[in-house]
Amino acid sequence: MDLVVSKINKVIGKIAVSGDKSISHRSIMLGGIAENETHVHNLLLSEDVKNTINCLEKLGVIVERQNDITIVKGMPPEHYKPYYGQLDAGNSGTAVRLLLGLISGSSNSYCFTGDYSLKSRPMKRITDPLKEMGANISFVEKNNLLPIIIKGGNLQAINYKLPVASAQVKSAIILAGLQGTGTTVIEEPEVTRDHTEIMVNYFGGKIEKDDSFIKIEGRQKLVGNEVFVPGDISSAAFLIVLALISPKSELLIENVGLNPTRTGIIDALKSMGANIEIIFEKVSNGEKYGHIMVKNSNLTGTTIEGNIIPRLIDEIPILAVAATFAEGKTTIRNAEELKVKESNRIEMMVTQLGKMGAKIEETEDGMIIEGPTKLKGLVVDSGGDHRIAMALAIAGMMAEGQTKVLGSNCISISFPEFEDILKKIIK
């Protein structure tokens, strides 16, 4: 079914968004290699996270639901069962890339694959460091792409400078480093989300951080624990922007993850003049979270570049929508990573938002948007990319007439409650 939306008046209310996708993946994976049980509260049960669960279950990890709690019973990957079929990560880059790091501790041979989109995303960024640590890896069809066959075991520590700022690459090396011998040192070009480091520490592992260096000792045992998954700031971002750009709107979004490596969207919107307040802050399992109060605001254009980019990488499609309603020019630079996400997100936003009437231009590593512009509703294409589908749906709610977002079922990849929540707050 394609989502059809019309112009709304305003949004008002108090809501909570689905659990954080990055923390959900990690709670299942780290629970899946830890001793004892891990009890996860508020796990995101989206398509991407279900793919992580399905893959690990095939290897012998037990994942059970009891009321609202997800219980993970894991074991060190060297004890995982052989699996002779393909382990399918579906649409999820995080699932396949982190699982490759995790599974490299096993001496069994496994084959990983994914859907059409995931099969076009670069994998050498993961396989290069894992090969250097001693894993045997081959590309079945095409260099750099899934499917991949991996046979690990007997890993050795490496010193590795990440060629791209990527939390997925960093996390895969951490998961492998924990299982090898020696101390692995990773250098990041820019700080990326640190949920893996936080959860490894919380599960009793030793991992040190010093500026842009991360040090992991090998042969570590993790012990499962109680995990609370806060709401996903990447999902909240769509509702935050809707409240900012629709007149007389006011939203309170409760218990949203506020890890500083993820709050670039709040900083960027505030630099555009957004009225956003954090009205309560707490820490659980090492992760900051709190309530976000958003009020309709007059936005102005800004420049988004440099080390803020990894802190808001998944929010750039919805930022482009915010920029369309802002007075003046918004320039987004250093965001070339957007070209290798579930779709080429620069191209998708430029063509689809452009079709709706936005003054948006593609650049080598980002985009330039001139605002404010009135949008018109029409048929737009999500390209099967959940972030594009939601960004276009929000744009459609501010456009004249009706907007139909083709391929919007992909929204369940990260935010299955998107439509239900909107129904509650649209007045």
Ligand X SMILES: C=C(OP(=O)(O)O)C(=O)O
Ligand Y SMILES: O=C(O)C1=C[C@@H](OP(=O)(O)O)[C@@H](O)[C@H](O)C1
When asked if residue 348 is in the footprint of ligand Y (CB under 6 A), the reply is no
Task: Copy the structure tokens of residue 344.
Answer: 């080429």
**Which amino acid makes up residue 17?**
V
Residue 68: Cβ-neighbour burial (10 angstroms; 0-12, 13-18, 19+):
exposed
**DSSP category for residue 261:** T
Give whole-number Cα distances, 421 to 23, 221, 407, 426, in Å: 21, 40, 19, 9
User: What is the Cα–Cα distance from 231 to 228, expressed in whole angstroms?
Assistant: 10
Near ligand Y by CB under 6 A: residue from 5, 11, 22, 105: 22
Near ligand Y by CB under 6 A: residue from 167, 309, 390, 397: 167
Task: Copy the structure tokens of residue 77.
Answer: 């990957």
**Residue 264: helix, strand or coil by DSSP?**
helix
Does the annotation place 385 within a ligand binding site? no
Near ligand Y by CB under 6 A: residue from 24, 91, 94, 352: 94
When asked if residue 88 is in the footprint of ligand X (CB under 6 A), the reply is no
Nearest distance from C-beta of residue 402 to ligand X, angstroms: 27
When asked if residue 265 is in the footprint of ligand Y (CB under 6 A), the reply is no
Near ligand X by CB under 6 A: residue from 197, 314, 381, 417: 314
When asked if residue 168 is in the footprint of ligand Y (CB under 6 A), the reply is yes
**Residue 300: helix, strand or coil by DSSP?**
strand
Span interacting with ligand X, options 87-95, 134-142, 146-154, 203-211, rule CB under 6 A: 87-95
**Which amino acid makes up residue 190?**
E
Name the binder of 58 from ligand X, ligand Y, none, CB < 5-8 A by kind: none
Span interacting with ligand Y, options 154-162, 164-172, 315-323, 388-396, rule CB under 6 A: 164-172
When asked if residue 27 is in the footprint of ligand Y (CB under 6 A), the reply is no
Nearest distance from C-beta of residue 171 to ligand Y, angstroms: 6
Span interacting with ligand Y, options 101-109, 160-168, 178-186, 255-263, rule CB under 6 A: 160-168
**Residue pair 170/192 in contact by the 8 Å Cβ criterion:** yes
Does the annotation place 21 within a ligand binding site? yes
Task: Copy the structure tokens of residue 148.
Answer: 């991949």
When asked if residue 231 is in the footprint of ligand X (CB under 6 A), the reply is no
Does the annotation place 121 within a ligand binding site? yes
When asked if residue 341 is in the footprint of ligand X (CB under 6 A), the reply is yes
- Residue span 408-427 as binding mask against ligand X, x where in contact by CB under 6 A, dash where not: ------x-------------
DSSP track, 239-251: HHHHHHHSTT-EE
Name the binder of 311 from ligand X, ligand Y, none, CB < 5-8 A by kind: none
Does the annotation place 387 within a ligand binding site? yes
Nearest alpha carbon to residue 94 among 188, 20, 168, 157: 168
The angle at the Cα of 347, spanning 342 to 351, to the nearest 5 degrees, equals 120
**DSSP category for residue 144:** T
Task: Copy the structure tokens of residue 150.
Answer: 């991996």
Of the candidates 314, 365, 381, 420, the residue annotated as catalytic is 314
User: What is the Cα–Cα distance from 234 to 362, expressed in whole angstroms?
Assistant: 23
* Pair type for strands 148-151 and 136-139: antiparallel
When asked if residue 193 is in the footprint of ligand Y (CB under 6 A), the reply is yes
Contacts of 204 (CB under 8 A, 6+ apart): 221, 222, 223, 225
* Pair type for strands 3-6 and 287-295: unpaired
Does the annotation place 193 within a ligand binding site? no
Please, what's the b/e burial string for 324-350 (b: 16 or more CB within 10 A of its CB; e: otherwise)?
bbbeeebbbbbbebbebbbbbbbebbb
**Residue pair 162/186 in contact by the 8 Å Cβ criterion:** yes
Nearest distance from C-beta of residue 33 to ligand X, angstroms: 19
Name the binder of 166 from ligand X, ligand Y, none, CB < 5-8 A by kind: ligand Y
| Known catalytic residue at 194 | no
Name the binder of 167 from ligand X, ligand Y, none, CB < 5-8 A by kind: ligand Y
Near ligand X by CB under 6 A: residue from 18, 38, 46, 94: 94
The reply to whether omega before 189 is within 30° of 0 (cis) is no
Site for ligand Y in 291-330 (CB under 6 A): 313-314
Task: Give the footprint of ligand Y on this chain (CB under 6 A).
Answer: 22, 93-94, 166-168, 171, 193, 313-314, 337
Tell me which residues are annotated as active site.
314
Task: Give the footprint of ligand X on this chain (CB under 6 A).
Answer: 21, 48, 92-94, 314, 341-342, 387, 414
Q: Which residues are annotated as a binding site?
A: 21-22, 26, 93, 121, 166, 168, 314, 341, 345, 387
Q: Which residues are annotated as a binding site for phosphoenolpyruvate?
A: 21, 93, 121, 168, 345, 387
Q: Which residues are annotated as a binding site for 3-phosphoshikimate?
A: 21-22, 26, 166, 168, 314, 341
